[in-house]
A and B are shown apart, each in its own frame.
Chain A
């Protein structure tokens, strides 16, 4: 986890991002209207995107640890994305849900939305940075007060 990373590390992340963003454009998740149409039950396509992607990822997360001991570009072991459960998952999930239901946009889709030409999404991106800063400001303060808090990303 330092500067001596493999020279192909960033190019690979970039190409992965390209494919990821293309998928968000193709699926119309980069269009807030389409997400809102799902949430209002006018077009139930969205779960095919999220769970379709989760199935593809799930296959890789299950198979890769059996095929190799470590990732070629980092030497890191293949691990699943498991995070500890606590009240924050519910509180944060609910706050995110209100924001997603109001705007029809989530972080990854917002980046892709900029790419498809939706300049107005800068409003949402500005809001996301304001929100991320506000919670970080508050948690850095309470974290300093309570001592080292358990990691949560």
Chain B
């Protein structure tokens, strides 16, 4: 049981915030997906909400095909937002702590009515233009990180495995180029 200290240090450097919050968070994401699947048989992804919600305001055939699911997708998204708030009110606010949760140092914390909230330092133009490409790409590519990455990979779908490999590879290349160009944060 004697680990090479240099190797150990290298592993620690790759995971400066440990793996607890990632593994536990992933477990919760999986459990939310499983609960919906167990009750309804639906492997729910997050990005279809963008198009299904547009069906409320646009008559385009591409959006109208989601009329049957738009109401529950709105409910699903409301749940995700409030789930984020539940995290903010507990662990992010320090009300609950765990050795499996590493708070980290990214962004800015601020308080509203006793709840510690968080704001990003990433520049708005990156969020907006990145968001446009996310909106186009996830809908053309038939899924996002939850549809392909969680439900599709969980289904051992060859299409989803290829989709995930594609967007992961391109995202890594993009982020590296953007960082190399000196854009930060």
Contact = CB atoms under 8 A, between A and B. Distances in A.
A103 to B, nearest CB: 2
Given A95-B137, A107-B49, A136-B58, A15 B131 contact: no
Contacts of A123: 124, 127-128, 131
B81 A111 contact: yes
B87 A33 contact: no
Interface residues of B, number: 133
Interface residues of A, number: 124
Contact of A132 (B15, B54, B84): B54
A94 B137 contact: yes
Contacts of B25: 23-29, 49, 52
A111 to B, nearest CB: 4
Interface string A77-108: 11111111100111111111111111111111
Nearest to A23: B28
A33 to B, nearest CB: 4
A128 B145 contact: no
Contacts, number: 573
B120 A97 contact: no
A135 B38 contact: no
A60 B107 contact: no
Contacts of A79: 41
A115 B120 contact: no
B166 A56 contact: no
B94 interface: no
B170 A40 contact: no
Contacts of A132: 47, 50-51, 54, 135-136, 138-139
18 contacts: A18-B86, A20-B76, A23-B28, A49-B23, A49-B26, A61-B151, A89-B159, A97-B170, A98-B174, A99-B129, A105-B131, A108-B46, A110-B131, A111-B81, A118-B107, A127-B127, A128-B50, A153-B142
Label chain A's interface by main secondary structure: helix
A130 B54 CA distance: 10
Contact of B168 (A30, A41, A56, A97): A97
A76 B40 CA distance: 7
Contact of B88 (A19, A50, A71, A115): A115
Interface in B40-67: 40-51, 53-54, 58, 60-63, 65-66
B134 A100 contact: yes
Given A88-B140, A89-B141, A115-B87, A130 B81 contact: no
B26 A48 contact: yes
A76 B36 CA distance: 12
A128 to B, nearest CB: 4
A65 B66 CA distance: 26
A118 B120 contact: yes
Interface string B13-45: 011111101111111111111111111111111
Contact of A32 (B78, B120, B132, B147): B120
Contacts of A73: 39-40
B6 interface: no
A51 to B, nearest CB: 7
